[in-house]
């Protein structure tokens, strides 16, 4: 297991309530996969100082959301949560916050978004997933 593998204390629920700058840093790490402090800074809008980003990464490590490995003189940071777990947490937060917990309303909003289109193959895969969810009582 790599030295930056996910810890047991990491919780996808924490992701939903991050302050704006912490969220931006975590999002940057998910986009690039892994990064040094300088590389994180390059990903941020209106970035704070190097020491502020380094301190925020330390806070995110304390929360169990970010891990690091040593690469020579540098720390390389990675998300501690898998992208799947983070995505699941984000979707649950989105559905709860904007759609009053209604999965149907969230899916309808995605389907009705003018710039998002599904082809026949994608629709068929969705139909299969819906049938599987029904079988599993979801």
pTM to 2 decimal places: 0.69
Domain boundary among 39, 57, 83: 83
Question: Rounded to an integer, what distance in angstroms lies between the CA atom of residue 106 and that of residue 28?
Answer: 25
pLDDT value of residue 13? 64
pLDDT value of residue 8? 40
pLDDT value of residue 58? 97
126 domain-assigned:
yes
Number of domains in the chain: 2
Q: Are residues 56 and 16 in the same domain?
A: yes
Place of tokens 């100082």: 49
Q: Whole domain around residue 107: which residue ranges?
A: 101-138
Q: Are residues 37 and 71 in the same domain?
A: yes
Question: Rounded to an integer, what distance in angstroms lies between the CA atom of residue 114 and that of residue 110?
Answer: 9
**Positions in the chain short of pLDDT 70:** 1-13, 114
| Burial annotation 71-108 (CB, 10 A radius, 16+ → b, else e) | eeeebbbbbbbeeebbeebeebeebeeeeeeeeeebee
pLDDT value of residue 11? 53
94 domain-assigned:
no
User: What tens digit of pLDDT does each residue of 41-71 get?
Assistant: 999 999 999 999 999 999 999 999 999 999 9
- Structural element, H or E, at residue 132: helix 120-135
Map residue 87 onto helix, strand or coil.
helix
């Amino acid at each position: 297991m790599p030295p930056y593998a996910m810890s047991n204390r990491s919780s996808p629920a924490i992701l939903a309530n991050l302050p704006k700058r912490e969220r931006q840093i975590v999002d940057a790490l998910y986009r690039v996969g892994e990064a040094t402090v300088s590389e994180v800074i390059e990903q941020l809008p209106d970035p704070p100082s190097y020491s502020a980003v380094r301190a925020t990464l330390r806070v995110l490590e304390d929360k169990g959301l970010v891990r690091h490995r040593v690469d020579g003189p540098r720390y390389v940071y990675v998300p501690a949560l898998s992208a799947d777990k983070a995505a699941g947490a984000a979707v649950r937060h989105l559905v709860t916050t904007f759609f009053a917990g209604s999965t149907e309303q969230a899916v309808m909003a995605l389907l009705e978004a003018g710039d998002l289109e599904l082809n026949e193959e994608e629709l068929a895969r969705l139909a299969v997933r819906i049938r599987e969810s029904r079988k599993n009582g979801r």
